[in-house]
Structure 1
Amino acid sequence: MLNEPRRRAYLTAMQVVSWLPRTELPFAAPSRPELLAPLPVFEDAAVEEVRSAGVSQVSQTPAASSPAPVARTVERPKIEIPRPSATVKPTVAKADKDEDAAPAVAKAPVVPPPRFALQLLRAGKCLLLVELATGEPFQSRDPSYLLLKDMLRAAGLPDSPQIIGEPVRWPLLVRGQMNQGPEAARDFVQGFLYARTEEEPCTCLWLIGLPAVRFAGEADAESYNLEFQVEGLGSAWALPGLELLMDEPQRKADVWRAMRKLMGRWKSVNE
């Protein structure tokens, strides 16, 4: 059982200022007169009658004794003391739930850098960007180079083309954080060609091999033997690679038919 000081300490912690016991409390102090004052008028008549009966019964009890129990029909509201742990746990659980419900950020797939080697040559008023299948510069007796000379003779162009600069190799760096993806490769190859065409314009740019067609002309294998315009570079002609022409000789007929339609572009200039 609680003594009076401890009981009042508990009531103070629960923020209870005025209270009446439901049963006789041992060691309780005498009731204070202000607690026995008439209660305010309630709308519910039944409640008012019950409370009036309780007050009258308490007033008849001697002051030195404990108040008699009062019958109550209305349940007193329960006062709950807020506990810090009770508010922290739901918050943490909700935060965890929100983190689980948040959609995961999809990372962009890492695209490996393309690998190719291209050699730029000039024959008359035409520039030739040729794929080096082996990655090594042309040699005078290479079968692919001999095939290129035959194609130039058939086109009415000098069969000893001038090699311009070193081969364009990609990727530029073996290691490092520099972006070397397809878009960077395209910008680099086109920038290289822009500089060469500013030094000396050309009437037609031959793109020989898929890497040349893809990164200089922004096209694909479907554009083989077709002429199209490249912004900043002018007219371009897409051709299969020299190695592919040697492996599949039937493609030479399509190249020849396309060449006959385009000869007028460079022949009139050379003459």
Structure 2
Amino acid sequence: MLNEPRRRAYLTAMQVVSWLPRTELPFAAPSRPELLAPIAPMMDEPAPAVQAQAPRAPERESPAAMATPVARTVERPKIDIPRPSSTPKPAPKPVQEEDAAPVVKAPATPPPRFALQLLRAGNCLLLVELVTGEPFQSRDPSYLLLKDMLRAAGLPDSPQIIGEPVRWPLLVRGQMDQGPDAARDFVQGFLYARVEEQPCVCLWLIGLPALRFAAEADAEAYNRELQVDGLGLAWALPGLELLMDEPQRKAEAWRAMRQLMGRWKTENE
């Protein structure tokens, strides 16, 4: 005989949900009275008619299923409302895929300013810087120094002035290029024309502007010999004003002159 727990285990294994014994079972639990009531006969129910599906109204939740609403603080997004302004804004510039690189213009070089006087002493030409921009006067200290240098070199101490001083820039206004390159071309062209008219043995370049625009040299070439295309031998000298302000430069110029003196003295003989 099976006891109640084992009997229920067997029935569960056979998927028997409810059962009713025919006789009283030993060791069985007492039966419930509602299970012994007679079962009412089952009636066949007619099949429900198929109707067109109509839109179903939303089912209302039962009061039990409705949860009590909980108050929540919802942050409303801040919306900026554009306000009309008195001045109209310019239309935005269309964005291009690749903006063109900005063109960087080279800074304009100011034209150099100088004045040069060309003189002839014997078989030498002298291109001398005019510091004041005015022609030499007979009593100018710089002109007196130049006469002393010519006497020491064995040349006539009364040089011949050739033409008007070369002043740069040429024009106060205008579109002509008056930069350093144009100044150099002008000075060299002026000297070429004078040398073709009457050749010279040596060209004295006195002053930094004379060196820079006639021989393309700088102050490091002072007291040296230079070979200039189309002009031949040139001798670089400091300006007359610089020789007067710094007397020690006169000794350097004198030593250089002694080495070059034979060139123009030989021609004079």
TM-score range, shorter chain: 0.5 to 0.7
Q: 2:225 aligns with which of 224, 227, 240?
A: 227
Instruction: Give the partner amino acid of 1:234.
Output: G
Matches within 5 A, 1:115-264: 115-264=113-262
Runs of 4+ in 1 over 4 A off after TM superposition: none
Deviation of residue 187 (structure 1)? 0.3
Q: Cα deviations across residues 231-265 of structure 1 (Å, max 9, x unaligned)?
A: 11101110000000000011001000000000011
Q: State the shift of 1:108 in Å.
A: 1.6
Report the counterpart of residue 86 of structure 2 in structure 1.
Answer: none
Whole-Å separation in 2 of the counterparts to 1:134 and 1:173:
18
Q: Structure 1, residues 156-202: CA drift from partner, whole Å, max 9, x if none?
A: 00000000000000000000110000000000000000000000000
Deviations 1:125-164 (A, max 9, x none): 0000000000000000000000000000000000000000
| Structure 2 Cα separation of the partners of residues 153 and 188 of structure 1 | 31
Residues 28-62 of structure 1, C-alpha deviations (whole Å, 9 max, x = no match): xxxxxxxxxxxxxxxxxxxxxxxxxxxxxxxxxxx
Residue in structure 2 matched with residue 98 of structure 1 by the alignment: 98
Distance 1:229 1:107 in 2: 36
1:105: Cα distance to partner?
1.7
Structure 2 Cα separation of the partners of residues 133 and 246 of structure 1: 13
TM-score (norm 1): 0.64
Summarize the alignment of residues 65-76 of structure 1 with structure 2, pairs less than 5 Å apart.
Answer: none
Measure the CA separation in 2 of the matches of 1:184 and 1:220: 18
Name stretches of at least 5 consecutive residues in structure 1 with no aligned partner.
1-91
1:103 shift after superposition: 2.1
Give the counterpart letter for 1:98 in structure 2.
E
Equivalent AA in structure 2 for residue 180 of structure 1: Q
Aligned length: 177
**Percent identity, aligned pairs only?**
83
Which AA in structure 2 matches 1:246? Answer: M
TM-score normalised by the chain length of structure 2: 0.65
Deviations 1:87-125 (A, max 9, x none): xxxxx53x2x411xx322221220000000000000000
Q: Secondary structure at the match of 2:98?
A: helix
Q: Counterparts of 2:121 and 2:245 in 1: how far apart (Å)?
A: 25
Distance 1:227 1:217 in 2: 11
AA partner of residue 205 (structure 1): L
Give the deviation of 1:267 after TM superposition: 0.3
Q: Hey, what does 1:70 align to over in structure 2? A: none
Q: Which whole-Å CA distance do the structure 1 matches of 2:185 and 2:250 have between them?
A: 31
Matching residue's letter, 1:104: P
Mapped partners of 2:160, 2:247: distance in 1: 26
SS in 2 for 1:151: helix
Superposed CA RMSD: 1.1
Partner SS state of residue 166, structure 1: strand
Q: What are the residue-to-residue correspondences of 1:49-68 with 2, within 5 Å?
A: none
